[in-house]
């Protein structure tokens, strides 16, 4: 029996993917586990492997088509099996077959007698390319109403075109580079007529030109659209509260320098250092290491810290899993690897999923302070600014020293975290950065 090739679900909230490229053509032999198709989700580009060995058949989706997850996209035929063995011809293939019957079938069909039609019905049938022999009629002649009813019945079963229009209207629209989807049709069932296209062109030309000329209109990439959807969802649904602190990074910087002097390995960056300290603080404040889903607060046992990373297509958040259980050296190595993967656009789903808290660091761009939007379903995000040296009072005797100061802003979901809880988290975080020995206690 043919084996269905099902589009896997790459993430919990994934509904569709886009087929980038079929690596195998219909009729090619494939081996189980062999990459057959490249797909693109809103986060990554990945290869999908063949579920079995055999001949690829019944391909239902072409390159650049959007596919619902968990749907059959093709079949694998075993030895001696043919397309006739495919149990159910999917609707998409059947629709194509019905709309384009083989020419041989039309040539050998006997000529069917049909009722005469009124002149108006004939003109309408000619304009809409309707075969009068297929139009049912209860009267002695086929009327205009019969043709209209037949056209409407065709559209209810399967719309023949995305925008109904006469051939003349399509030709004019193509020549004038006009989108039929922008035109309101006045023909039967809203079909666009040639006159409708002409009227649209005249009205468009009469509109006042904008004072600022448009350079280019760009469609949203899948990653950019995903970012837009998630950030809009977060900002509209989660009541954000923001708390900002300033931390003296003198001791943390000295600690980081000593660590880097101990071994000739990948240098410990400020972000790596922050991940280790934040992981320590999250274990002390579990409501910041939580999720809010379906009206419930979910406290996570693992501390998986995501690092917002800019790429050409937008923003992606690779995750350091079990950050609280790793040494600062291990975190540095993981971060360096994930950053390289992200820049190359080859992150796997496992490397971007299951984050429980996010750090967004814009300090390298000279940004001193900013607020970030929570990455749902997480309940908090830490926005980190640049380090600036400035004079501060360091003791009760009002001694003034120039110290490296850094601003941090915590954004928290007020449905889960109250202001005092968020403040206590930031207080511990500042203490740990200013007194690194706390991590050893």
Of the candidates 394, 380, 388, the residue with the CA atom closest to the CA atom of residue 425: 380
Residue 359, both tokens: 């750090």
d(CA 399, CA 346): 51
d(CA 423, CA 425): 5
Of the candidates 432, 69, 62, 84, the residue with the CA atom closest to the CA atom of residue 248: 432
Peptide bond into 377 cis (omega under 30): yes
Of the candidates 106, 128, 107, 132, the residue with the CA atom closest to the CA atom of residue 117: 132
Positions marked active-site: 414
β-strand 16-22 against 35-40: which pairing, if any?
antiparallel
CB-count burial class (<10 Å; 0-12, 13-18, 19+) for 112:
exposed
Are the C-beta atoms of 324 and 279 separated by less than 8 Å? yes
| Per-residue buried b or exposed e for 221-258, using 16+ beta carbons within 10 Å of the residue's own CB | ebbeebbeebbeebeeebebeeeeebbbbbbbbebbee
The CA-CA-CA angle for residues 348, 53, 7, to 5°, reads 40
d(CA 358, CA 307): 6
Are the C-beta atoms of 339 and 348 separated by less than 8 Å? no
């Amino acid at each position: 029996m043919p084996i269905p090739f099902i589009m896997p679900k790459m993430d919990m909230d994934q509904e569709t993917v886009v087929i980038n490229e079929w690596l195998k053509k219909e009729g090619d032999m494939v081996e189980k586990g062999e990459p057959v198709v490249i797909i693109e989700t809103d986060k990554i580009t990945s290869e999908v492997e063949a579920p079995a060995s055999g001949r690829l058949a019944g391909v239902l989706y072409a390159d650049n088509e959007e596919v619902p997850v968990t749907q059959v996209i093709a079949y694998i035929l075993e030895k001696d099996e043919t397309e006739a063995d495919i149990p159910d011809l999917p609707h998409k293939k059947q629709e194509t077959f019905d709309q384009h019957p083989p020419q041989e079938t039309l040539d050998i069909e006997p000529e069917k007698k049909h009722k005469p039609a009124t002149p108006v019905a004939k003109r309408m049938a000619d304009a809409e390319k309707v075969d009068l022999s297929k139009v049912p009629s209860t009267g002695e002649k086929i009327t205009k109403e019969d043709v209209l009813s037949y056209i409407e019945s065709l559209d209810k079963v399967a719309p023949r075109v995305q925008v109904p229009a006469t051939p003349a209207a399509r030709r004019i629209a193509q020549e004038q580079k006009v989108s039929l989807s922008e035109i309101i049709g006045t023909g039967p069932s809203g079909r666009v007529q040639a006159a409708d296209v002409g009227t649209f062109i005249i009205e468009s030309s009469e509109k006042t030109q904008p004072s600022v000329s448009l350079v280019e209109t760009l469609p949203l990439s899948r990653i950019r659209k995903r970012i837009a959807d998630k950030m809009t969802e977060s900002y509209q649904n989660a009541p954000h509260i923001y708390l900002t602190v300033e931390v003296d990074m003198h001791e943390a910087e000295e600690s980081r320098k000593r660590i880097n002097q101990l071994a000739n390995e990948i240098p410990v960056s400020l972000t790596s250092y922050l991940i280790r300290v934040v992981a320590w603080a999250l274990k002390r404040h579990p409501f910041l290491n939580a999720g809010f889903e379906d009206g419930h607060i979910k406290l996570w046992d693992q501390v998986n810290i995501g690092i917002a990373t800019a790429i050409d297509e937008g923003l992606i958040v690779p995750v350091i899993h079990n950050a609280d259980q790793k040494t600062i050296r291990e975190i540095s190595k993981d971060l360096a690897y994930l950053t390289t993967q992200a820049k190359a656009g080859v992150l796997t789903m496992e490397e971007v999923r299951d984050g429980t808290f996010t750090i967004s660091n814009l300090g390298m761009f000279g940004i001193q302070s900013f607020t970030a939007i929570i990455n749902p379903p997480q309940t908090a995000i830490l926005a980190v600014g640049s380090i600036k040296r400035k004079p501060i009072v360091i003791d009760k005797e009002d001694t003034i020293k120039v110290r490296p100061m850094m601003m941090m802003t915590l954004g928290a979901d007020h449905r889960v975290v109250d202001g005092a809880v968020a403040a206590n988290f930031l207080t511990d975080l500042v203490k740990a950065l200013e007194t690194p020995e706390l991590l050893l206690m």
